[in-house]
Amino acid sequence: MVRSLQDDVTHDVKPALLAVLGAVLLLLVIACVNVTNLVLARSAQRQGEFAMRAALGAGRRRLIRQLLTESIVLALLGGILGVVVAAAGVRVLIALSPADLPRLGAIRIDLTALAFAFGVTTLVGVTVGLIPSLHATREDLRAGLQRSARRTVGGHRRTRGALVIAEVSLAIVLLVSAGLLLRSLQRVFAIDVGFDSSRLLTMQVQEYGHLFHADEARYQFFQQALAGVKAVPGVATAAFTAQLPLSGDLDVYGAHFEGEPYTVVGVVADVKQQALALGPQDAVYTTPTQWQWVDNVMSLVVRSDRDAATLTPEVKRAIWSVNKDLPIVRVATMDQLVARSAAQRRFALTLFEAFALAALALAALGIYGVLAGSVAERTREIGVRSALGASPGEILTLVVRQGMTLTALGIAVGLAGAALATRALASMLFGISSLDPLTYVAVVAILGAVSMVACWTPASPRHESILRSRCERSDLPVILRSAATKDLLLEEPGAW
């Protein structure tokens, strides 16, 4: 068998790192969509300005160049701020990373990473600035001073609505992924490890040197060390083992009983030796005196009647009282070893939770931004509806219905995308399917609730009163109240 060293080192963590990379890309796209939405809304409000510039002689290329420059400057400023945040974020990332993550000490922000970051922000600035620029300049801007901008605003509204749908669907993918990992981790920690892991202290004792060349000398040292440890106040019981569960120790020798003088003295529960998510292997326990040799590296396990970690200094002194030159390493409680066995899943979950919360916030801001812009653009329409007798509740329902329609379309697209995308997480899931219905229902409920708040805010009574005051100050025509006209306006959004 021939394998590259890189594959051998990274094959365990590769799925988690690729999943995190996918989450980063999804969040980047969501951020780009959000910024594009904001720039589109801003450009719709600046149609008069663009028309005036065109009337004064500014050509289409000059306007596009102006909008691109604005977008790139904003993107670069955001990129610089992002690098500052990333410098602190890298330290947090290292602190959260599992101890067995390959080359953990080499993780840092270097020149290559900085160049990549600024390259991405420049590309984002160009892309985000180009789309609104083309929208803003695709028509005859000089004619914009004379004719209504209703068609332009309507086109912008449709584009921004499509972007909100895309944003919500991408947020669904991240939220479902985080939900699946959370449910999977709950299942992992609900597994019975086969022993009581509470109040257990473990450490590895390594003997070496000419004094321990013979098995008898090794056996005598470990027996004397064990007797000293058992005499420590607070120690309920203690023992040495060659293979400590969930520590990474695994040697397979095989066992043959037929014709041998072995006696079975008891049966123990299945123990998770390698990892919580792996099934137990058939195993037998033998005493040190019955084994072919005495190992020179043994793990000490101490059960205490109090917090086991507090016994560490006294237990070490008891071992060193037999031989002060022997190293004692890998000191940990058994609860810590249990937690470490699921460290990769916890690491991926923590990052996915952070990305999912950011995606949820961005999706809510995107919905709010679109509806706030739509309400501002429809100030005259809302004023007319109010003048014709529409109640604040009816206006609120109209705006909320528009936003929740976009949310529902985004959820439908996102659920289909999540069903496909989460297949990549299959190797990181335990005890649940990538189509776990409880996760999907919970995500839809959370996103629906957040979207409802985002939809309600732009059309809340406070905003409605502001719009009413604006309309009263404007040059709205005097319209006779008509029940038929009121019904028509309420049934056909955008009719005005």
Sign of CA dihedral 405, 407, 408, 414: positive
Q: Which helix (H) or strand (E) holds 279?
A: none
Q: What is the pLDDT of residue 38?
A: 78
Question: Considering only CA atoms, which of 184, 168, 182 is closest in space to residue 444?
Answer: 168
Low-confidence ranges of the chain (pLDDT < 70): 44-45, 132-133, 135-156, 212, 260, 376-380, 459-496
Alpha-carbon distance of 493 to 490, in angstroms, equals 7
- This prediction has a pTM of 0.69
Q: What does the alpha-carbon distance between residue 109 and residue 90 come to, in Å, rounded to a whole number? A: 8
Question: Measured between alpha carbons, how far is 241 from 285 in angstroms, rounded to an integer?
Answer: 10
pLDDT attached to residue 413: 92
The pLDDT assigned to 475 comes to 47
- What pLDDT score does 260 carry? 67
- Candidates 428, 423, 401; CA nearest to 490 is 401
pLDDT of residue 320: 92
Give the distance from CA 3 to its chain's centroid.
32
20: nearest Cα among 361, 435, 277, 355: 355
pLDDT of residue 496: 37
Distance CA 273, CA 267 (A): 16
Residue 310: CB partners within 8 Å, gap ≥ 6?
Answer: 234
Q: What is the pLDDT of residue 227?
A: 94
Asked if 172 contacts 440 with a C-beta cutoff of 8 angstroms, the reply is: no
In 3D space, the residue among 160, 175, 77 whose CA is nearest the CA of residue 369 turns out to be 160
CA distances to 334, 342, 448 from 204, in Å: 13, 21, 52
Q: Could you give the CA distance from residue 283 to residue 295 in angstroms, rounded to a whole number? A: 18
